[in-house]
Amino acid sequence: MNYLDELNDPQRDAVVNTNGPVIIIAGAGSGKTRVLTYRIAYLIKNGTDPFNILALTFTNKAAKEMRERIYHVAGAEARNLWMGTFHSIFARILRIEADKIGYPINFTIYDTDDAKSLIKSIVNEMKLNDKVYKPALISSRISAAKNAMLTAADYAADSDNISYDESSGRPKFAEIFAAYEARCFRAGAMDFDDLLIKTYHLLNTHPEVTNKYQHMFRYILVDEFQDTNGVQYAIVKKLANVHQNITVVGDDAQSIYAFRGATIKNILNFHKDFPDTRVYRLEQNYRSTQTIVNAANSVIKQNKEQLDKKVWTQNEVGDRIKVFRALTDNEEGKVVASSIFQEKMNSHCFNHEFVILYRTNAQSRSIEEALRKINIPYKIYGGLSFYQRKEIKDLIAYFRVTINPTDEEALKRIINYPARGIGKTTFDHLAVLANEHNKSWWDIMNDAHQYGIKAAASLADFVMMIKSFQAMLDRNAYDVAMHIAKQSTILKTLYEDKTVEGIARYENLEELLNGLKEFSIDEPIDDDGVVRVRTLSEYMQDIALLTDADREDESDYDKVSLMTIHASKGLEFKYVYIVGLEENLFPSQLSLNSRSELEEERRLFYVALTRAMKKLHLSFATSRFKFGTMIHSEPSRFLQEIDPQFLIMEGMYNNRGSENRSFGARGNSGQTKIISSSTPTKSNINLPKNFKPINKAAPSSVDPDFVGDDTSLLQAGNMVTHQRFGNGTVLSIEGAGDNRKAQIDFGEAGKKMLVLKFAKLKIN
């Protein structure tokens, strides 16, 4: 069958009309990836040289999947596409043109940890307070400046910036920024932001380079365009200036990365930069039920700042969306876990078909505890990455120094690991000498005897070892890596550690080397048909630019997924649970300062809703702990914005015991009023046999009018009543003032230690 026959009419139009500026507005689940890949395949099949096509994505995983699809349609020519993430493509250009801006072609790419480590060193050398100049904060501020296309000199020249730093108690920020910029340059290193900003400056200052790539890239395609920031769009716009054949694909309703510098203005104002833009709308959703699609539409229509579209579907109507109110976050976790247990039993489905989404990572705790108690396996996205583990970073640091010996952060990490008699005194001496002579640590180490360094002999041995590694760099990646792992004695050191942790670290290194072996076997063939060796340098560039979405562990396959909503973008699951739908949590309290911030939160909720294919569950708690204090919560305004015809309430009981079936209008106070209707009914969520309820004797809801007595004279032996735990006996009192606590036996609810400042108790 012809691949074009697989497309609906709007999709086909978006594929075959290839010339000029085009914006494809792709609603959730509308098949945008298929349209983008088929558009590229169509270009190739109609005579466009793949070397003249630039396709930009946000994850290597997405680029790989698209390339495979294009290969299936257009054949082996697909391997010649310039396709990848913004960072990987710009890194590729920079490696070709590095000499134009004074960098070595083998420059190192610093990750977030490297950047923070360098900043910490600079702060210490400047004798500044690292509690005021926190590395994470300084790193974030430098990143923001770069994304605003500012160099350190540009930043320092702006009096508003300097005034801001002085008023915030960090007047030395501009100096730290300048030192960071200089040290990265000296080390032949770029951080992730540099890959964008250096490309931008390269194109701005070298017209011959700009002209070269403008004529090379006859067709430019950008996926997830709503997620681009100012620098990314500025580069793309400049590259497209000659041929004007630029296609951007995205959905303004899924623009959720403003905190990373993304701006929705890029997609909303695209037609202003390219007046001849043709617009194609992909509005048919192939993913979700009609109920889910219509519910999501009812939410997103509340946003004022958006492009015109109406997402629809021909899928089945599907079940109504279940909304559950829990008394606490712990109860919420139990309800979600039991619902998954029941769904698995009733529908005979797999763990990997479920996802639990939350606004912040901290919310996972109660969910994890509940899943563990009934033995439901789960995995958390956004945890410690494989490549962030210490033993992995140690060996990779050896690779980095072998490729680029001026890489100061990598040198610091391995110069005395495993131990070789190079201690802190030598570290400090090297740092002082490097700064005094404006040379790299490597340059100083090469002449250690000349500089009178006490550990000169040990440094000379280290330098000789690294040079022996460098002599092998033209061999395949696995052979070089294995040699380094052995000769550096890292493998031996970890092998000799027979603790559980030591064995795990050794196995992690083994897994890294296994990955290198697989990488080395997959040898590319050049245009002349010659098999080319895959080098360690290529491998390092690949892993330096991995994103969280690119890291998968097949052993985690059949597990329930837990992740933030931001991490879920681009994914889909049959069964979706969105938890913590409470005011000041979702929407976040930080997003309530302006309409634009609130609208981004609403887009985030829209993204969460549209991850669901078959069934969707929403939940909120009426109370949860925050920094050790129990706070009472109001239901999220987003719940009210869903058309009630698409909802079914579970466990929604008011003070009279009647079950609530819908959300009412918001009052002048902004609080959601819950309208009660119908007669008392029980939630139809059944708990598995081994699942213990939070308190068998607990009342069905928290009474907001419950007022506690003065507990300043409370003593052991007193009888008390708690609004959730019922009647109890005070066993003991300890502490004083705000820290005064009581241990109370509540019978079936168990023994509880309560902080009396916060506990509401009636003394009987």
Which of 276, 186, 205 is closest to 240 using CA atoms? 276
Whether 610 is catalytic: no
Catalytic residue among 214, 228, 254, 622: 254
Cα–Cα distance for residue pair 565/684, rounded to 1 Å:
27
Cα–Cα distance for residue pair 184/187, rounded to 1 Å:
5
Instruction: Classify 34 as helix, strand or coil.
Output: helix
Look up residue 244 and give its amino acid: Q
Whether 32 is catalytic: yes
Contacts of 736 (CB under 8 A, 6+ apart): none
Whether 223 is catalytic: yes
Sign of the C-alpha dihedral, residues 755, 756, 761, 763? Answer: positive
Catalytic residue among 12, 18, 33, 461: 33
Cα–Cα distance for residue pair 370/51, rounded to 1 Å:
52
Look up residue 405 and give its amino acid: P
Whether 254 is catalytic: yes
Catalytic residue among 11, 32, 263, 659: 32
Question: Pseudo-torsion of CA 58, 62, 68, 72, nearest 10°?
Answer: -100
Tokens matching residue 21 = 């500026």
Whether 601 is catalytic: no
Cα→Cα distances 186→95, 110, 143, 441, Å? 17, 13, 19, 10
Instruction: Classify 387 as helix, strand or coil.
Output: helix
Q: Write the secondary structure of 37-71 as one string of H (helix), E (strand) and C (coil).
A: HHHHHHHHHCCCCHHHEEEEECCHHHHHHHHHHHH
Which of 413, 377, 521, 403 is closest to 109 using CA atoms? 403
Sort strands 612-621 and 751-755 into parallel, antiparallel or unpaired.
unpaired
Per the listing, tokens 């980095």 go with 400
Tokens matching residue 46 = 């109609």
- Beta-sheet strand order (sheet of 219-222): 82-85, 53-57, 219-222, 246-250, 22-26, 278-282
H-helix or E-strand spanning residue 335 = helix 329-347
Distance of CA 551 to the CA centre of its chain: 12
> What DSSP character marks residue 691?
P
Whether 325 is catalytic: no
Catalytic residue among 111, 191, 194, 223: 223
DSSP code per residue over 212-273: HHHHH-SEEEESSGGG-BHHHHHHHHHHTTTT--EEEEE-GGG---GGGTB-THHHHTHHHH
Instruction: Classify 758 as helix, strand or coil.
Output: coil
Which of 686, 606, 670 is closest to 636 using CA atoms? 670
Catalytic residue among 325, 611, 614, 624: 611
Count of Cβ atoms closer than 10 Å to residue 131 Cβ: 6
Catalytic residue among 114, 193, 194, 224: 224
Q: Which residues are catalytic?
A: 32-33, 223-224, 254, 611
